[in-house]
Amino acid sequence: MKYTQLNIPDIVLIEPQVFGDHRGFFMETFREDEFKKNVVPAAFVQDNHSKSTRGILRGLHYQIKQPQGKLVRVISGEVFDVAVDIRKASPFFGKWTGAVLSAENKKMFWVPPGFAHGFYVLSNEAEFTYKCTAYYAPEHERSIRWDDPSIAIDWPILPGAFPILSQKDEEGFTLENAEVFE
Radius of gyration of the chain (CA): 16
Structural contact between residues 94 and 177, judged by C-beta atoms closer than 8 angstroms:
no
Pairing of strands 125-132, 70-76: antiparallel
Which of the residues 49, 120, 130, 140 is marked catalytic? 130
Which of the residues 3, 22, 61, 62 is marked catalytic? 61
Mapped onto helix, strand or coil, the DSSP state of residue 20 is strand
Of 91, 80, 86, 90, nearest to 118 (Cα)? Answer: 80
The CA–CA distances, whole Å, from 83 to 11, 25, 27, 88, 93 equal: 8, 29, 25, 15, 11
Q: Is the peptide bond before 101 cis (omega within 30 degrees of 0)?
A: no
Mapped onto helix, strand or coil, the DSSP state of residue 37 is helix
Separation between Cα atoms, residue 79 and residue 55, nearest integer Å: 10
Q: Tell me if residue 61 is catalytic.
A: yes
Convert 114-136 to b/e letters by CB count within 10 Å (16 or more is b).
bbbbbbbbbbeebebbbbbbbee
So which residues are the catalytic ones?
61, 130
